[in-house]
Structure 1
Amino acid sequence: MSYKERSTWISLAILVYIWFDYFVQLFSLQSTEQLNVESVNSLLLAVVLKTIVLEIVLQIVLAIIDHKDANYADDERDKLISFYGSRNAYGILSVGIIMTVFHTVFPTLSSFSMMPTQALTTISLPNEYKIMHIVIVFALAAELAKFSTQLFFYRRGF
């Protein structure tokens, strides 16, 4: 397994762990009727700090373990794999932004749609926070698609 592939696995694991925990806590606060703007802000701050700390620590550990490959620049294969991952992520993010704009501009029509983030529109927060969470969900889906695509091509090879 290459250094870049291990790094991608670490980033994917951090993304899934941190954001799964965030949404579990968010819906837990919603079910106990303790969800408010302050609690969401503190959860988001915790997510950002945890992500930064875990990425730094785990990437340093990976660089120490695999110090021979840590300083190599991306070769053509790495660049192509990164391009494919970014292309898939961009498509998902574009669709998500269009759906978010549609939801914002036409709220009555979007309530009838089968939007994948329908659960987020029922949370008891101001509308700005609902829209922010819809954007977060699509950004996460884009990142998951990017990392998954990269891992697929690292495993499959070119």
Structure 2
Amino acid sequence: MSYKELTIWGTLGVTIGLLIYYLTGINSLQTNGNLSQDTMVSYLYKVVITAVILEIIMQSVLAGIKHKEADLGDDERDKLIELKSAKLGHWLTSAIILMCVFLATQIERVSGRMLLPEVSDLYNIMHYLIIGFLISEIITTASKVYFYRRDS
């Protein structure tokens, strides 16, 4: 397996792990009755820092293992796969954003019936956006894996 493909698999694993980590953490805060806007924001900071650290470690380890391939640039196939995958992720991100904008326009009707009643509607919409962005990144990265596997 090439360095490029290994990094894509690693990124996919990290992103899926982060989605699980975020959802279980928010669920744990909610179950324990500790969910508030402050704890949600501080937990989000923890998730972002964890994401950066895990991605740096994963990229460094793979670059160390495959150091010769890591120095090579992208070829035309890599760029085409990147474009196709980014297009899929963009469509999903756009759909999530439109859903959240619609939710914001209907806030009077859905207020109090959101997923996280402990926090304000704004934080609920932020929660949906975070989940949507992570799922969009998973779709983008999984499509890269698919395109690499299909062409090999």
Q: Same fold (TM over 0.5)?
A: yes
State the secondary structure of the residue aligned to 1:121: coil
- Compute the TM-score of the two structures, normalised by the length of structure 2: 0.92
Q: Could you say if the C-alpha distance between residues 109 and 120 of structure 1 is closer, same or farther in structure 2, counting changes exceeding 3 Å?
A: closer
Q: Distance in 2 between matches of 1:79 and 1:26?
A: 36
Identity of paired residues, percent? Answer: 34
Distance in 2 (alpha carbons) for counterparts of 1:123 and 1:83: 39
Which residue identity lines up with residue 145 of structure 2 in the other structure? L
SS state at 2:73 partner: coil
Q: CA deviation at 1:123?
A: 3.7
- Paired AA for residue 104 in structure 1: A
What does 1:1-158 correspond to in 2, within 5 Å? 1-107=1-107, 121-157=115-151
State the AA in 2 paired with 1:136.
I
Partners of 1:120 and 1:133 within 8 A in 2: no
In the alignment, residue 55 of structure 1 is paired with which amino acid?
E
Unaligned residue ranges in structure 2 (runs of 5+): none
Deviations 1:63-107 (A, max 9, x none): 010011001111000001111110000110111111111010023
Q: 1:19: how far off? A: 2.2
The residue type paired with residue 122 of structure 1 is: L
Cα separation, 2, equivalents of 1:62 and 1:95: 34
The whole-number CA distance in structure 2 between the counterparts of 1:144 and 1:57 is 19
Task: Identify unmatched segments of 5+ residues in structure 1.
Answer: 112-118
Distance in 1 separating the partners of 2:60 and 2:82: 21
Counterparts of 2:110 and 2:114, CA distance in 1? 13
* Alignment partners' CA distance in 1, 2:63 and 2:9: 14
Shift of 1:3: 1.0
2:93–2:133 Cα contact (<8 Å) kept: yes
- Secondary structure of residue in 2 paired with 1:122: coil
Aligned positions, number? 151
Distance in 1 between residues matched to 2:86 and 2:114, nearest whole Å = 26
Change (3 A) 1:109 1:41: closer
**Runs of 4+, deviation exceeding 4 Å:** 108-111
TM-score by length of 1: 0.88
